[in-house]
Structure 1
Amino acid sequence: MFNIELNQTHQTMKALKVVGGVVVLLVVVVAVLAFTMPTHVSVTRSTKIDAPADYVMKHVKNFAQINAWSPWMDKDPEMTSSIEGEDGQVGTVYSWSGNEDVGKGEQTLTEISDGKVVSHLHFITPFEGEANATTTFSEVDGMTEVSWAYDSEMPIPMNVMGLFMDMEEMLGPDFQKGMDNLKALVESNKSSKNEFDGFTIETIDMPERTYIGARDTVPMAEMGAFFATNFGQIMGSMTKAGLEMAGMPSGLYFIWDEEGQSTEMMAAIPAAAGSELEGFESFKIGGKALKVDYYGPYEGAAGPHMAMEKYMKWHGSIMNGPAIEEYANDPTTVSDPSETHTIIYYPIDEGLRD
């Protein structure tokens, strides 16, 4: 009986030694792995977007845009979010809360510089964690290369979990989807962008018309006198000839020489297409055009013209005629100069607009 109990004790001790040895071995293996495996985790995905870098950056640094391209919105369309602070500025906080696929957390803008937006991520559920998200932008051959990177630290011994968690496999597809979503969103918004410097620009089909008027190269300082002299003569001659006005008095600008302070222009009144009037020039125009309404004194009319130029550069539009200013009301009949209404048209080549 004593020998049996002794034998059982011996076997138990032997088993404990084996288990203890295995535990020690596992601890040693974990320790070795912990000190040899990386503690830094990084995942990066990139894309090329047909838009200027600063325009692309607005869609990333402004949290109001993030839900429109975030890959995690598809995982929980009911996810709630909020923004604290001035959107698009360092210190702004974006908070989200959703199902188990998206969890709960906060994202804080920590850096905005030329070509870079950095934010700090604080994950609350389903696990506590910290990370940085860095988006970089660089223009190459008319396109913007965008890279979206995720960086986090896994301290020893937690870094051993990297054996069982492939972050590339876990996050890579989501980050690529985010880049694809961002590209689609930005390029769609770019093609429909029509507001520049506070002016809304329309694309219209201008009815064909003929402008009747006087054309000459005029010093900019004498433009007012040129209009005053010719508008009255044109109106009087049109009335005598039985020609009806098809619009308000206008200025057509064929050449604008800022350096020489002169312009080749036409003081004109629109009439029916094909109209002619002895002693005056005729200029027929119609078709696709850009249009902007400007309210204010003539001295400020450079603003909408600059907005038109920005629009054309943005969309790749090309002018195929003179810039036209239609003076929709008489500044002497309004009580406030801000009520003076000028309609500006830029005829464009329809085939070159995107």
Structure 2
Amino acid sequence: MKALKYIILLLLIFIIGSCTYVAVQPNSYDLSRTRTINASAQLIFNEINDYKNWESWSPWLEKEPGIQFTYPEQTSGVGGSYSWTGNDGNGMMKTLEVSPYDSILQEIKFENFPASQVYWKFDAKGPSTDVTWGMKSDNMSFMLKFFAAISGGMDKMVGPDYERGLEKLDSLIINKMSKYDISIQGIKEYGGGYYLYKTTNATSANISATMGKQYGSIMMYMAQNQIQVNGMPLTVYQEMNQQEGTVIMSNGIPVSEKIEVADDSDVLCGYIPKTKVLKTVLKGNYTNLSGAWAATMKHLQDKGLEQSDLKPFEIYTNDPGKFPNPADWVTEIYIPLKE
């Protein structure tokens, strides 16, 4: 009997000591993980802002495929929410604050535990974005302290899941951005029109940056002279060497009529007449344009079509600033044909 009493006494001491240890642990925590993703803050923000997207990169669904999600009518923006039921219990999350493309503040509530705040920060760094995912609370319950204590702390208990979630989010975003489609539309008729342009040379390494400077300069000239834009930007290829990756190009902005420019101006006015063309549409990142041109030229050869003396050109039919995912960019390629 004495041995049993000692065992019970030791157990009581252990329990009291453990409870005391747990009770004196800090009432607050703030943990986070950061990952650099090679995508715009807008694209990443849009992916995270809608809870319906979370299933695609959730680290918890990977651990427990049978978890059940419930979505209300509103799942994005302030007031958006969702809930779940799983083997580890039930919970829900709702969005409290949103600063587009900069930050998101959410509240997460697990069954039988006080609510915590989840926060996202998007720090644009040129073409990439530092994405920070964190969670914090100033009101840890005794049970949460207990689970954190036996797991080595909240950071070790939750941090690896956040790391895995950001890793999956990165892969998902890159995969979405890499999708593209090349569609050869066949023989069409291009209506023609005037355009203001500047001519320069470029390589495959600097062509995007060069185009941006060219269009910026033309738009500035048009603003200074109160000239209205009459269509989407285009590029006329004066010379194209696909093997060496070099071009001489005229980057232009359509206008409604012929514009008389000063003799000393580096901005000129050009004209593309109404003509028969072979048309190809690329939906996807501009980096896929070389493949689209190669497919177009092959089609030209396979069908025995003959290019006219007019230079080939392409038109960028939507604004990348309004379409953060490059997979949504649309470019039309035109090769003028002999009648």
Name the TM tier (shorter chain): 0.5 to 0.7
Gapped runs of 5+ residues in structure 2? Answer: 198-217, 228-258, 260-267, 277-304
In the TM superposition, residue 61 of structure 1 has moved relative to its aligned partner by 1.2
Q: Corresponding residue for 2:291? A: none
C-alpha change, 1:187 and 1:347, in structure 2 (3 Å) is farther
C-alpha change, 1:247 and 1:75, in structure 2 (3 Å) is same
TM-score (norm 1): 0.55
Distance in structure 1 (CA, Å) of the matches to 2:82 and 2:116: 15
Gapped runs of 5+ residues in structure 1? Answer: 1-10, 194-201, 210-245, 276-281, 293-306, 317-342, 349-354
Distance in structure 2 (CA, Å) of the matches to 1:182 and 1:147: 12
Distance in structure 2 (CA, Å) of the matches to 1:24 and 1:161: 20
In the TM superposition, residue 38 of structure 1 has moved relative to its aligned partner by 1.8
Q: 1:112 aligns with which of 79, 92, 98?
A: 98
Preserved contact between residue 42 and residue 324 of structure 2 (Cα < 8 Å): no
CA RMSD of aligned residues (A): 4.0
Distance in structure 1 (CA, Å) of the matches to 2:21 and 2:65: 43
Preserved contact between residue 40 and residue 154 of structure 1 (Cα < 8 Å): yes
C-alpha change, 1:345 and 1:163, in structure 2 (3 Å) is closer
In the TM superposition, residue 96 of structure 1 has moved relative to its aligned partner by 1.4
**Residue 189, structure 1, aligned to residue 176, structure 2:** yes
In the TM superposition, residue 28 of structure 1 has moved relative to its aligned partner by 5.9
In the TM superposition, residue 88 of structure 1 has moved relative to its aligned partner by 1.6
Deviations 1:212-241 (A, max 9, x none): xxxxxxxxxxxxxxxxxxxxxxxxxxxxxx
Distance in structure 1 (CA, Å) of the matches to 2:6 and 2:190: 103
Deviations 1:76-125 (A, max 9, x none): 33433222243322122201123x15x3211111111252112111212x
Preserved contact between residue 30 and residue 157 of structure 1 (Cα < 8 Å): no
Give the count of matched residue pairs.
239
Give 3-state SS (helix, strand or coil) of 1:67's partner.
helix
Deviations 1:43-72 (A, max 9, x none): 322211111112211111111211111112
C-alpha change, 1:176 and 1:347, in structure 2 (3 Å) is farther
Which of structures 1 and 2 has the bigger CA Rg? 1
Q: Corresponding residue for 1:329? A: none
**Residue 249, structure 1, aligned to residue 198, structure 2:** no
**Residue 147, structure 1, aligned to residue 119, structure 2:** no
Deviations 1:293-333 (A, max 9, x none): xxxxxxxxxxxxxx2464899759xxxxxxxxxxxxxxxxx
Aligned sequence identity (%): 18
Q: Corresponding residue for 1:54? A: 42
TM-score (norm 2): 0.57
**Residue 180, structure 1, aligned to residue 167, structure 2:** yes
Distance in structure 2 (CA, Å) of the matches to 1:69 and 1:183: 9
Q: Corresponding residue for 2:273? A: 268
Deviations 1:258-290 (A, max 9, x none): 233337131513257454xxxxxx52216xx45
Q: Which amino acid aligns with 1:95?
A: S
C-alpha change, 1:51 and 1:39, in structure 2 (3 Å) is same
Give 3-state SS (helix, strand or coil) of 2:63's partner.
coil
Q: 2:54 aligns with which of 66, 69, 83?
A: 66
C-alpha change, 1:83 and 1:290, in structure 2 (3 Å) is farther
Q: Corresponding residue for 2:145? A: 159
C-alpha change, 1:268 and 1:26, in structure 2 (3 Å) is closer
Distance in structure 2 (CA, Å) of the matches to 1:344 and 1:187: 20
Distance in structure 1 (CA, Å) of the matches to 2:13 and 2:104: 46
C-alpha change, 1:110 and 1:30, in structure 2 (3 Å) is same
C-alpha change, 1:160 and 1:274, in structure 2 (3 Å) is closer
